[in-house]
Amino acid sequence: MDKKFDAFKQELNRVYKKNKNYHKKMQEQNITPEDIHNWSDIKRLPLTTKEDILANYPNGWNCVNENHIKLYHASSGTTGKPLIVGLTENDIKTRQKQILEDAKMAGITKKDTVQICYGFGMFTGGLSFYDGLKELGCKIIPTGTMSTEMQLFYMQQLKTTVLITSPSHAMHLYETAKDLKINMKALSIRIIRVGSELLTESMRRKIKAAYGKNVSVTQDYGMTETLGPGLGMECMNENGMHLNPNYYFELIDSKTKKPTTKNVGELVVTTIYNECFPLIRYTTNDLVELSHEKCKCGCSSPRIVKFLGRSDDMLKVKGVKIFVSQIEDFLFNHPYFNHQYEIVISKENYKDILTINIEYKDEITPSQRKQIVKYKENIEQEFKSKFGIKSTINILSTKSIKPYPGKIIRVRDLRKLKV
């Protein structure tokens, strides 16, 4: 008897009865919940997209009475209006268990002092970790979005051992600490758990170089639609994020939207235990590579070993398709650059123009400025050889690029602006 499948069938029945839009999509495909007998049948069900959810904005995807909703969260809305998700008491308890498992994977214990640098607002990150870590029994420092100087102050005074933040914010803390003559390697931090943004291996190396090679730098994966962090959880082996077994995952071809037998494709998520906001075959837009090899930690759950990018983060410049993560890896493999960069795409005489602004690793001296022109030409040629498109790469002094508050935005596509 498959208890997980039985729970899924209950959820499917609720969605079929409570969600008019999904009910209609199933009817159009001449299928009902009674036609789904095992996990192999799930691919017969229609996919759910973010557009489906937004078409029933804001509460049309809920499968409980509004009186049962105890908490609301919302996405950042960086690609449109924020997606609002309600949570019941049971959903909050499910999320707490999810965060506890996430903390366990990261190596966090009740003896740790955990500093949470995510905002405590509509974004799921801050409150999710706060609620879950309370159950663990560790000390919590809820600094949220305090100034960088105050983040560092509490880090020193309260001897933070675990830092929960985004990759770019971890590096911003380091850069500020350097200006304040604070040695991050001399602090008590032993674990940095990052999320909210993609962590490339190049960025992981940069964070370790900044905080100490023995500091564990791992990431988790989640989204507002699935209660927040904990959908994917990386253990201290730093070899990919274990997919949460309390969900059902598939890979589909990002173009045809058909199931694929390959280990690379767009990740599709089906919730099993989400009460208010269940999702059936939800297309995440995340293009990933999975591994089914058993991890050294003993977990046999499939792992996301590589994020190829988001289908909506894929750039098309001069007919060439390229992901932001590929550009980041290229830039971070050069020792002269720090973590701060931005990609600007414009159009001139009907042609795409690609410009990359990247900051120099340290303050540029007069002698270094003379060398930059030659180095700039070399890296531009290297970029063209690697990706097949020309780019203008501007190497700037540190702090030239203004950091974005909240979720970092790496790309400014000026082609989309109406003139």
Which pLDDT score is estimated for 121?
87
Q: What is the Cα–Cα distance from 266 to 162, expressed in whole angstroms?
A: 32
Q: How many C-beta atoms surround the C-beta of residue 139 within 10 A?
A: 16
Q: Which tokens sit at 79?
A: 């690609």
Which pLDDT score is estimated for 60?
87
- Reported as a single tens digit per residue, the pLDDT across 369-380 is 777 777 888 889
Give the HSE-up count for residue 171: Cα atoms under 13 Å, Cβ half-sphere.
24
3-class secondary structure, 236: coil
Q: What is the Cα–Cα distance from 332 to 67, expressed in whole angstroms?
A: 50
3-class secondary structure, 317: strand
**CA distances from residue 403 to 63, 131, 407 in whole angstroms, order as listed:** 39, 29, 10
405 cis-preceded (ω within 30 degrees of 0) = no
Q: Which domains does the chain have, with CATH numbers?
A: 89-310 (3.40.50.12780), 314-416 (3.30.300.30)
**CA distances from residue 12 to 31, 71, 97, 235 in whole angstroms, order as listed:** 12, 23, 22, 31
Which pLDDT score is estimated for 418?
46
3-state SS record for 268-313: EEEECCCCCCCCCCEEEEEEEEEECCCCCCCCCCCEEEEEEEECCC
Which pLDDT score is estimated for 42?
96
3-class secondary structure, 328: helix
Q: Which tokens sit at 191?
A: 């674990």
- Reported as a single tens digit per residue, the pLDDT across 25-76 is 999 999 999 999 999 999 999 999 988 998 888 888 999 999 999 999 998 6
- The rounded average pLDDT for each run of 10 residues, N- to C-terminus, in the chain (419 residues) is 91 93 93 95 95 88 93 75 91 95 95 95 91 94 94 97 93 91 96 90 92 96 92 95 96 91 94 95 93 91 86 73 82 84 84 88 72 81 88 86 69 69
pTM (two decimals): 0.81
Which pLDDT score is estimated for 406?
56
Which pLDDT score is estimated for 79?
52
3-class secondary structure, 36: coil
Which pLDDT score is estimated for 419?
40
Phi first, then psi: what are they for 277, rounded to 5°? -125, 65
